[in-house]
Amino acid sequence: MSGLGGLNKTPGGIVVSVVQSQLFDVATSADLKHAVDHVVALVKRTKHAYPATDMVIFPEYCIHGLSMRMDDEIMCTLDGPEVAAFKEVCKDEGVWGCFSIMEKNPLGNPWNSGIVINASGELVNYYRKMHPWIPVEPWYPGNRGISVFEGPGGVKMSLIICHDGMFPEMAREAAYQGAEVLLRTAGYTPPIKQSWELTNRTNAFTNLMYTVSVALAGTDGTFKSMGEAMFCNPEGDVLEHGNNSPDEAFACEIRAEEVRRRRRHWGVENNLYQFGHRGYVAVQGGASDCPYTYMKDLVAGKWKTSEDDEVVVKDGTSCGYEPPRKEFIDELGAF
């Protein structure tokens, strides 16, 4: 049930709208301002088109485009004019908003960051992309982990960005922390269309959560983004599916009780619980050990797949970037 594509909202539900915003070529501060103004206008338009909307979500790169430029002139900060404009429109429209910025980073290359602002214009969630789409993307890997926040109506949400969703561990971590809705924003292009749907649906079902996903749409003259907005329910069914039209909005009613009911009452396929309670029919409470070598090795800093020595692409030189010379610094929440 989608509430007729978000036109209706029932008690206990919230309406989430996603906007397949136009892909821009952003090279200057003037270009950046134009893109910000465009997104602000789309917030207003979406709230007018779907008055029941509690939250509006924009794709990754919604104000920076896909050029991967790192010029300081167009990088953002949390206290800069771009974020201020987003806060103002959310407060004025009385709606939550999820936006994308490329963020200045004193440690090196910029971060690819996502922010969530509530209907009072306050920043309530701030996430740095954990898995840049390498070797194409030059962004510094996120160092704030995955967070869960209370969204509109007290619904627990988590935000990941684009390529993050290709790693099942990301969705599982969000669900483990209590997320009932996984937001996924992206700048993906058409070749990823099939993998996009596959992972959105799988992340939903394997964690008994909603997934709400949206990518940029249109072309900047060089790149073309795919749109493909998508809402999936906790059983992995697609409730609403977008197209490839730029600036088109899609909406859906989200009912957190559908997540809570399954996680509390299901036996068969209650995989989020059963992952840490293996074989509870045979052994009291189920086995709660960690039998996974990859988890143990990652924690120990010894990650090495059986093909590691044969992997060819290990830096960004194939995409025109210089080999990196900086070590990763994990300063959780330092900036």
Whole-number Å distance between alpha carbons of 34 and 28: 10
Whole-number Å distance between alpha carbons of 28 and 23: 15
- Asked if 117 and 159 count as a contact pair (C-beta separation under 8 A), the reply is no
pLDDT tens-digit profile of 257-273? 999 999 999 999 999 99
Q: Which of 9, 87, 129, 156 is catalytic?
A: 129
Strand ranges (E), the chain: 13-20, 53-57, 96-103, 111-117, 123-128, 148-150, 156-161, 181-186, 210-215, 217-219, 224-226, 230-232, 238-241, 248-255
pLDDT recorded at residue 330: 80
pLDDT recorded at residue 333: 46
Kindly indicate the confidence band of residue 1, based on its pLDDT and cuts at 50, 70 and 90.
low
Kindly indicate the confidence band of residue 332, based on its pLDDT and cuts at 50, 70 and 90.
low
- Asked if 113 and 141 count as a contact pair (C-beta separation under 8 A), the reply is no
pLDDT recorded at residue 301: 94
Q: Domains along the chain?
A: 3-274 (3.60.110.10)
Is position 252 annotated as part of the catalytic site? no
Percent of the chain with pLDDT over 70: 98
Per-residue burial over 291-301, b if 16 or more Cβ lie within 10 Å, else e, is eeeeeeeeeee
Q: Which of 76, 90, 162, 232 is catalytic?
A: 162
Whole-number Å distance between alpha carbons of 143 and 123: 18
Is position 60 annotated as part of the catalytic site? yes
The DSSP result for 88-104, as a single string, is HHHHHHT-EEEEEEEE-
pLDDT tens-digit profile of 73-118? 999 999 999 999 999 999 999 999 999 999 999 999 999 999 999 9
pLDDT recorded at residue 77: 98
Q: What global pTM score does this model have?
A: 0.96
pLDDT greater than 80 at residue 71: yes
pLDDT recorded at residue 5: 82
Is position 162 annotated as part of the catalytic site? yes
